[in-house]
Structure formats: C-alpha cells, structure tokens
Structure 1
C-alpha cells in the first residue's frame, strides 16, 4: 500500500475515533442518533477506500480507449504501446505512448473529459522535442 494511502486511512481512523468518543460523551437522549450517524460516516469512509482503486482503473481504461481512438485518427497505420505510471504520486490520466517506429521516444498524453493533448515528451540525448515524428505542439488549455 502506498504511504499516502496509509496516511489517509490513519487520519480517517483518528477522525472517526474522535467522533465516536464525542458521541459516547453526549447526553443519553442524543447518544443513539449520534452513534448511528458516526457509524454511517464510518461505512462511507470504508466504502470510499474500497471502491476508489476500482473506480480509477475503470476511468483509466476509458481514457486509454479514448487515447487509442485519438492516435488512430492522427497516426493511421502506425503501431504504439500505451502504458501508465503506477503509483499514487502520478496522475492516472497521464498515459505514456511509445511508437514502434520511434522506440527511443516516449510521449505523455493527458486525457481529460473533453480534451487530449501531449504534455511531456522524452527524446533521446542530443535531440529536441521538435525532432520527434510524433511531436505535437498544441498544449493543454
């Protein structure tokens, strides 16, 4: 598990434990409703941490398909490989593309809801970005 996720879970646990302590210290007539409310908040947090990785993977699969369609339109007849960087420190919607006819180059595309744009490129030593066959200077807006 990534350290950021561990920190998020620890903070959520401390928050919920604090809410339970406060709920138990409330007067008897308010205690039952407050414990039910805190239990509901706990359930929502557990659901959030359980569903979030699957939701991100689902969104990435949709974005990958969208990027595939974009590349087929702009570079017909070419072969490429799309991969993503794994880890919480990387944006899951930044997808790395390596074209077969340009193996030393890696292009990173941002795939948003309404736009696809090339944001980063990794050329071989001694070459600039404009030397790449697939370099796009459109920029994200």
Structure 2
C-alpha cells in the first residue's frame, strides 16, 4: 500500500471514530439519528475507498485512448507505447509515452480531456536538452 493511501485511510478511520464517539456522547433524543448518520458516513467512506481504484482505472483508460488519438493526428505513421507512471501519482492522468524512433526518451503528457493534452515532463538521455527531442512540444503559456 502506498504511503499516501495509508495516510488517507488512517485519517478516515480517526474521523469515523471521532464521529461515533461524539454520537454516543450526545443526548438520548438525537443519539439514534447521530449514530445512523455516523454509520452512513462510514459506509460512504468504505464505498469511496472500494470504488476509487476502479474509477481511476476507467478514467485512465479513457484518457489513454484520447492521448492515442492525439498522437495519431500529431505524429502520423509513427509508433509509440503509452503507459502509466510507476507507483501512485498525485495526478494519475500523466501518461508516459515512448516513441519507437527515440528509445531513450520519455515524454510525459498531461491529459485533462480530449481538448487539453500537452507535454508536461521530458525524460532526456544524458546531458541533452528537452528541445533536442524529435517529439518535443512547447506548450504555450497562454491560449
């Protein structure tokens, strides 16, 4: 389990425990409603942590297809391999692209939606500059 996930789950557990303790300490008149509310929040958190990995996988597969279509238009006739970055990322929609005619280069594309795709990071071999790459794209700061 990734440390970020462990921190999120730990914080959620502490939050649920605090809510249940508060619910138990409330007066009898509203204790039942507060326990039902605390239980509902617990179920929602469990569903969130159970569904999130599948939702992210679905979104990444959709954005991988969008990136593939973008690259087919931008670089017709070339071959590439798209993959997710290893480990958990703060932004799972950053996808690695390796072109077959530039083996040592890694281009990381940020895929927001089909209309907003741009290179955000470059993995260059040796002491080369990103602009030396055949597939280097300068992202305009203002559109």
Q: Aligning the two structures, in what range does the TM-score lie when normalised by the shorter sequence?
A: over 0.9
Paired residues for 1:67-106 under 5 Å = 67-106=67-106
TM-score, structure 2 normalization: 0.92
User: Alignment RMSD, CA only?
Assistant: 1.4
Looking at structure 1, the residues matched to 58 and 140 of structure 2 have their Cα atoms a distance apart, in angstroms, of 26
Work out the number of aligned pairs and report it: 141
Gaps of 5+ in 2: none
Query: 1:136 is paired with a residue of what secondary structure?
Result: coil
**What is aligned with 2:39?**
39
Q: TM-score, normalised by structure 1?
A: 0.93
Shift of 1:139: 4.2
Partner SS for 1:83: strand
Secondary structure at 1:117 match in 2 = strand
CA 1:109/1:54 → structure 2, altered by over 3 Å: closer, same or farther? same
Deviation at 1:140, TM superposition (A): 6.0
Match for residue 134 of structure 1? Answer: 135
Distance 1:110 1:59, change over 3 A: same
Structure 1: gaps (5+ residues): none
Q: Quote the residue 1:13 is aligned against.
A: 13
